[in-house]
Amino acid sequence: MTERDFQKAKAIYLQKIDIDTLSDYFEYFQSVDSDRSGNISIDELEVLFNTIGMNMTRWDAQMMMNDADKDGDGEITFLEFCGMMYRKQQESGNDTFEDALREAFRVFDPDDDGYITFIELKQLLQRLGDNLSDEEINEMIDDVDGDDDGRVTWKDFRALMME
């Protein structure tokens, strides 16, 4: 995906959403496009929504893909992604990207103390079927922990999701 894709989306969607939200969409699209193809596959779409706490089945992902994939090529372009996010935002009462991230953070922080701890991350990963070693989980936390206190704060989490 290029700056040109962003500018094209800006021209289309700026009448409907503000530039900050569009920028958030751009950053989020890039973070979800794990293979850097410039498109989102059904696998990447499924990971996206499961990450933010929306338990999405393969069938749900396929239905969303069918709805968003306007050109029918089996992948979602940035423009299609903007349309999907805009429609989802409208359906959910104008929740913002930031609201979605906060909701995702709450999934990782079930006691709502403002931190994702080793135990919370380990329990969530186990529920998702990822049986990582304690060392791997500690490495995950260390990679995002901005203040080296062994916990992931909202600020750390947001920075990670915006990479």
Residue range 38-79, pLDDT digits in tens: 899 988 888 777 776 667 788 888 888 888 888 889 999 888
CA nearest neighbour of 147 among 100, 114, 122, 123: 114
Of the two residues 81 and 21, the one the predictor is more confident about is: 81
- Residue 84, C-beta contacts closer than 8 angstroms, at least 6 positions apart: 64, 67, 68, 76
Kindly state the greatest CA–CA separation across the chain.
Answer: 48
CA nearest neighbour of 33 among 65, 74, 73, 76: 76
In the prediction, which pLDDT does 13 show?
A: 56
| Residue 157 predicted with pLDDT over 80 | yes
In the prediction, which pLDDT does 118 show?
A: 93
Of the two residues 47 and 99, the one the predictor is more confident about is: 47
Task: Name which of 4-13, 25-34, 107-116, 149-158 the model is least confident about.
Answer: 4-13
